[in-house]
Amino acid sequence: MTRVFGGCIEPGGMELDDNSFIDACQNTACGMPANFRVWEGAEGGSINLYQRVRCTHCGYFESDHPGDDDEPMPDYEGDTEDCI
């Protein structure tokens, strides 16, 4: 975890959450295990919550973090045709 300080953040700082876990892919044609990450970032004096999903099986990717638009897609093992 990261502790952040700033004029708009509570005195003494605040611990930011950063959690990773594996769950079923959100691509309904796949459903294989995918990597999820949910984290907080301190930008401009506010605490923002972000989420990212990456499936190495079908290549599914979704993120609400603005910087993730430029990240290359990871290689994946197959496509959705062989997902059951």
| 17 C-beta neighbours (distance < 10 Å), count | 11
Q: What is the pLDDT of residue 80?
A: 43
Q: Is the pLDDT of residue 20 over 90?
A: yes
**What is the average pLDDT value for the chain, to the nearest integer?**
76
Q: What is the pLDDT of residue 83?
A: 41
C-alpha span between 41 and 21 (Å, rounded): 18
Which of 11-20, 52-61, 64-73 shows the lowest mean pLDDT across its residues?
64-73
Give me the count of residues in the chain. Answer: 84
User: Exposed, middle or buried, 35 (CB in 10 Å: 0-12/13-18/19+)?
Assistant: middle
Mean pLDDT, residues 22-35: 91
Q: What is the domain partition of the chain in residue ranges? A: 20-82
Q: Is the pLDDT of residue 32 over 90?
A: yes
pLDDT in tens, 52-67: 999 999 999 999 887 7
